[in-house]
Structure 1
């Protein structure tokens, strides 16, 4: 077999192994984003102003939710590494001459879950307060008064759902790290149907529910976050492997473990927040161009958010795999996973980009009413943005995979520092320059986003390659000394 054929065979084998974990995670992410997609479509039914206000509220909610999720994301990697170490120890019993109580992986996992729930509770409560305060300040941030007022009502309804949302994410990371994420997809798909029904009921006052209009979408979403957490918890309690490890008594969390999770999670949260904040700032800037521009930005951003979940699935799968391979001492496999994940991501993004460019009306139709003159203006703006998005999503996928790869190395600080450079030192100035002095307006904002994401992707992937090379050199030196 030629070297090229061997590489192809290895890529296929690694791709299948990655897909085994990435596909269910990506499908779960897609099902989960269907919640906000349903919300966005329902907002569009209520009119352009409601779509603009609801979109603004969702941007703020997603900003804080994403940062909260970042605080518990490392739990999956820590659990996966503990499981791999347990497998390695079981395969080499001769090395375990004296039992080590501190090396009990089950005890470590229980401690991690308890600490993750404590972090999720604190982050959810703080985020809920911030959400309401930001909503109150919307008008001072340049938003239309009517849009800001409607957004405040929805934010007040979304705020109580942040704590159960982060509880769900903490338990989710536990199940993924244990490689038992099967229930996630079923629960999330069911939540989409429940969310759609509750949205309709609270908007229109159906089935005896109060008529709340746009605010009802927020009430429905918060309710679904609570129901989803309860369903995932109940499912884990029925799993004989997971149940003994699932402790929700977060008030008993080990302070040292909480500090360890925060040490890993704060840079991840800052990284996620840096990216989400980058998009949030551009949403605020788009709002300065009028309701039609903000509505177009909201619709296109939602499309990006949908496709981004494929990248999230690949990123999590690659990250967990890297943690596992490093725990097993296989640096070559950890190096190969980068190319495998990027190849899988590029294939998906190419298909989606082709759809954007060839069927723009079909893609954007759910968000706009063709009979409304205002919606037609927003549709025209959004159609022009799809050409930029078709290229942007390649870099968006690559940078997300890069963050996950570095997380697999427990190098969470580098991701944050690199996103600061890519998003804020390159992307935001480019967005401002292209949107204002050069007259690009909303399209200019998105071109700036593209440049920021491209810079971030290149820097993250380069950092991963260099770190692995350094670790390989250290390992070879250690082996040489032992010989």
Structure 2
């Protein structure tokens, strides 16, 4: 009973961060879904061109986000050190009968300066990554025909990429401020801002596409202009919200040109493996999509639909991963190793609960789950629907390991061990998962089912290696507590 009570308490503490972060991730999925729907209304060529532009943009955006992701952990640790110093100072004052406020060189003032330095450095990294990514985005668009894309599609994609490119800098600024707010354990405004951005994005999309609301008529390019505008507005809204917060405002600094080089280098050392991990994972699923396409249009359609379902559930894992990661940084800064050890089990238990409920839904009402992607009454959709229905049995298990490996990466990030996470994901995705997918899909004749069984094997291997690495790392900090009884 005591263990259940501890698990419930830890789960509530984790949910304070995980729920708003997961809902924010789901709202961001709605943002890109809106763009895709609007593209589809413009026709097949526009959907192809816009989809190509979004793939390029999202790849660079995801890697840019990785560069600033460790900021939240650094700020969580600094805030915890300040909290610990305040407690120590208060205890000393009670004992000695004196006021020690502001006298501890390692206390709140010093850590406040450290947080301000981290925010400046995060903004500097976001700015550099945004500019570099924007230039790379435009260059990739210009080379699209060299990559085998249809000339008409490539030309339209180039226009959209040019419109999306300016939005990458404010997008990454938003992510830097987001990491600051969650590191300070005050993420609540994120959800409201992201939900509002979905509505604003839909309105601006429509306005710039058709020239309504007094806006210029830009067609497909208008979607890129709307998206860039929404990223800028979202950043300004989050900044304004943080400035109104009495706890956050004194620590919030945007003068990134004053960032000190050592802090910027530290964030890049931690962030580069995270960015590489995100890029590696995206590449892994991209290659498996190419495998699925080799089995025909129905197999690719089934793969795409099921992959989207996994992606939606994955956003819950992202929320749990970030929350667990920040809590590990905090507990280690406070010196509470048993709490850091429990976070792994708490996060995995929460992930198992969510994925089990979703898995039951997949197994009991598969056709309802797949209804948004296939029309059961359309003969052309029957083969894809049957393949996708069979895949849901595998996905019901796979999504737990997908969730667990994301949590594992977050836990290691909480230890500032981002390089191990990258190395392990390379092993799990590329050395185990991809060969297993190829072997089960082609030589053993499993086709799409074999492909997804290989994905499951790769994700399970990655999860187990990451979680083992985390346990061993904690044991190096302090031996695991002896079992009670037995």
Q: TM-score category by the smaller chain? A: 0.7 to 0.9
Closer/same/farther in 2, CA of residues 279 and 372 from structure 1, 3 Å limit? same
- The CA deviation string for residues 346-365 of structure 1, in whole angstroms up to 9 with x for no partner, is 11111222223333444344
Closer/same/farther in 2, CA of residues 442 and 160 from structure 1, 3 Å limit? farther
In structure 1, what is the equivalent of residue 57 of structure 2?
Answer: 61
Is 1:100 the counterpart of 2:100? The answer is no
The answer to whether the Cα contact below 8 Å between 1:76 and 1:320 also exists between their aligned partners in 2 is: yes
Query: Secondary structure of the residue that 1:42 maps to in structure 2?
Result: helix
- The CA deviation string for residues 414-470 of structure 1, in whole angstroms up to 9 with x for no partner, is 100101101111122223334444455555443332222111101000100111111
Query: Secondary structure of the residue that 1:207 maps to in structure 2?
Result: coil
In structure 2, what is the equivalent of residue 178 of structure 1?
Answer: 184
Deviation at 1:252, TM superposition (A): 1.2
In structure 2, what is the equivalent of residue 218 of structure 1?
Answer: 224
* Structure 2 length-normalised TM: 0.87
Structure-to-structure mapping, 1:243-262, within 5 angstroms = 243-262=249-268
Structure-to-structure mapping, 1:23-102, within 5 angstroms = 23-46=19-42, 51=47, 53-93=49-89, 94=92, 99-100=104-105
Separation (CA, whole Å) in 2 of partners of 1:144 and 1:349: 40
The answer to whether the Cα contact below 8 Å between 2:85 and 2:106 also exists between their aligned partners in 1 is: no
Structure-to-structure mapping, 1:11-410, within 5 angstroms = 11-46=7-42, 51=47, 53-93=49-89, 94=92, 99-100=104-105, 104-138=110-144, 141=147, 150-286=156-292, 296-367=302-373, 382-410=388-416
Deviation at 1:211, TM superposition (A): 4.5
Structure-to-structure mapping, 1:438-457, within 5 angstroms = 438-457=444-463
Separation (CA, whole Å) in 1 of partners of 2:35 and 2:200: 12
Separation (CA, whole Å) in 1 of partners of 2:447 and 2:46: 22
Separation (CA, whole Å) in 2 of partners of 1:173 and 1:191: 18
Separation (CA, whole Å) in 2 of partners of 1:52 and 1:289: 21
Which has the larger displacement, 456-465 or 344-353? 344-353
Query: Secondary structure of the residue that 2:416 maps to in structure 1?
Result: coil
In structure 1, what is the equivalent of residue 472 of structure 2?
Answer: 466
The answer to whether the Cα contact below 8 Å between 1:62 and 1:276 also exists between their aligned partners in 2 is: no
Which has the larger displacement, 100-109 or 337-346? 100-109
The answer to whether the Cα contact below 8 Å between 1:142 and 1:288 also exists between their aligned partners in 2 is: no
The answer to whether the Cα contact below 8 Å between 2:197 and 2:234 also exists between their aligned partners in 1 is: yes
Structure-to-structure mapping, 1:418-437, within 5 angstroms = 418-437=424-443
Any gaps of 5 or more consecutive residues in structure 2?
A: 94-99
The answer to whether the Cα contact below 8 Å between 1:41 and 1:366 also exists between their aligned partners in 2 is: no
Separation (CA, whole Å) in 2 of partners of 1:221 and 1:440: 40
Closer/same/farther in 2, CA of residues 473 and 360 from structure 1, 3 Å limit? closer
- The CA deviation string for residues 29-67 of structure 1, in whole angstroms up to 9 with x for no partner, is 212221112223334445566555544433332222111
Closer/same/farther in 2, CA of residues 280 and 59 from structure 1, 3 Å limit? farther
Separation (CA, whole Å) in 1 of partners of 2:217 and 2:254: 35
The answer to whether the Cα contact below 8 Å between 1:418 and 1:459 also exists between their aligned partners in 2 is: yes
Query: Secondary structure of the residue that 2:478 maps to in structure 1?
Result: helix
Closer/same/farther in 2, CA of residues 31 and 255 from structure 1, 3 Å limit? same
- The CA deviation string for residues 348-399 of structure 1, in whole angstroms up to 9 with x for no partner, is 1112222233334443444467798766665555444433332221111000
Separation (CA, whole Å) in 2 of partners of 1:92 and 1:144: 66
The answer to whether the Cα contact below 8 Å between 1:139 and 1:145 also exists between their aligned partners in 2 is: yes
Which has the larger displacement, 176-185 or 282-291? 282-291
Separation (CA, whole Å) in 2 of partners of 1:409 and 1:80: 12
Closer/same/farther in 2, CA of residues 98 and 200 from structure 1, 3 Å limit? closer
Which has the larger displacement, 383-392 or 307-316? 383-392
Any gaps of 5 or more consecutive residues in structure 1?
A: 477-483
- The CA deviation string for residues 153-173 of structure 1, in whole angstroms up to 9 with x for no partner, is 443333222111111000000
**RMSD, matched Cα:** 3.0
The answer to whether the Cα contact below 8 Å between 1:115 and 1:250 also exists between their aligned partners in 2 is: yes
Separation (CA, whole Å) in 1 of partners of 2:158 and 2:397: 34
Aligned residues: 472
Deviation at 1:209, TM superposition (A): 3.9
Which has the larger displacement, 337-346 or 43-52? 43-52
Separation (CA, whole Å) in 2 of partners of 1:419 and 1:143: 30
* Structure 1 length-normalised TM: 0.88
